[in-house]
Amino acid sequence: MSMAIINTFGNVDVYILLLSSWFLVSAVCVWGRPATFLQDFEITWSKTHIRQIDQGRAIQLILDQNSGCGFASKSKYMFGRVSMKIKLIPGDSAGTVTAFYMNSDTDTVRDELDFEFLGNRSGQPYTVQTNIYAHGKGDREQRVNLWFDPSADFHTYTIMWNHHHIVFYVDDFPIRVYKNSEGKGIPYPTMQPMGVYSTLWEADNWATRGGLEKIDWSKAPFYAYYKDFDIEGCPVPGPANCASNQSNWWEGAAYQALNAIEARRYRWVRLNHIIYDYCQDKSRFPVIPPECLAGI
């Protein structure tokens, strides 16, 4: 701030006030979102196995022979974008599952959008499984082998959900797209708000090579780390017209389909890293599911 401004106001107190305001605006611009853990989330399972780090800006999840753990958002949301930075279990993590997902928390007609990171034996690629439940119907698993070591550093995992499609992102790479084809009679989650959840748990009956690889408890405890918790959506309860408001940024033209760069990245992932797609599994689905025929 120049001396000319001080001279204009002729008051040092005004200068101090303006300087303070400038620092405040700057801080908002620099920090803004993401939130601390306790602003948006609460521990739902085994408080002793979730530790806050860096004054709540990051957390550590712990799995040992006594317990896993989990947390959930305090609110549910209709449409929007949810992302977290996660550093997964290093080394021999076979039989463990680190999950990050959205769920309507309804028993009979469930909507759910899943990231499930399946532990592995050391030296093998980390697999991420995605699944989608719409109007109570699931069994839509796809698996992708990650092209980097997700335990070496934090990576951003994002779920985008709007009236047009659902997109799962790993960093800036879309790994799965599920289009809204309700007009063709294909279920799509449009009626129920969903909370944001995460768990770290034992699943060695299926997680690694179909359950062939069991947890080596001599490697326990297992740790996963989360930070940069970012939820942008319509909270429920909240303004009644929020979810249908086409002016929400996530409903904008730029988010109604993949852009050219995203489309190239998506093709690259599908060609080089997908290892399972329920649409291709004729043993489970002799009749191809209708959403697969719709090009989803």
Whether 125 and 274 have beta carbons less than 8 Å apart is answered as no
| Rounded Cα gap, residues 81 and 232, in angstroms | 5
Cβ neighbors of 174 (< 8 A, separation 6 or more) are 167, 168, 258, 262, 265, 266, 269
CATH class assigned to 37-293: mainly beta
Instruction: Give CA torsion, residues 213, 218, 221, 227, to 10 deg.
Output: -50
Where b means 16+ CB within 10 Å and e means fewer, 60-75 reads: bbbbeeeebbbbbbeb
Q: What is the pLDDT of residue 296?
A: 59
pLDDT of residue 108: 80
Of the candidates 276, 257, 250, 266, the one whose C-alpha atom is nearest the C-alpha of residue 172 is 266
Distance CA 39, CA 182 (A): 35
Q: Specify the pairing of strand 222-236 against strand 69-87.
A: antiparallel
pTM: 0.87
**Alpha-carbon span 213 to 93, nearest angstrom:** 10
Q: Does position 123 have pLDDT exceeding 90, yes or no? A: no
**What average pLDDT does the segment 48-57 reach?**
94
Q: Considering the chain, what is the average pLDDT of its residues?
A: 88
Tokens 């092209």, located at residue: 147
Share of the chain above pLDDT 70, in %: 88
pLDDT at residue 149 above 50? yes
Neighbouring C-alpha atoms within 13 Å toward the C-beta of 274: 18
pLDDT for residue 13 is more than 90: no
- Please state, in angstroms and rounded to a whole number, the distance separating the CA atoms of residues 278 and 4: 68
Local structure of residue 35 (DSSP, 8 states): B
For the cut 80, the answer to whether the pLDDT of residue 177 exceeds it is: yes
What are the tens digits of pLDDT across the range 236-279? Answer: 999 989 999 999 999 999 999 999 999 999 999 999 999 999 99
Q: What is the pLDDT of residues 101-121, one digit of tens each?
A: 999 998 889 999 999 999 999
In tens, the pLDDT along 189-221 reads: 999 999 999 999 998 888 888 888 899 999 999
| CA–CA separation, 94 and 219 (whole Å) | 10
- Residue 6, pLDDT above cutoff 50: no
**Which pLDDT belongs to residue 176?**
97
Say which DSSP state 294 is in.
Answer: T
Catalytic annotation, residues: 112, 116
pLDDT at residue 4 greater than cutoff 50: no
Indicate if the pLDDT at residue 97 is higher than 70. yes
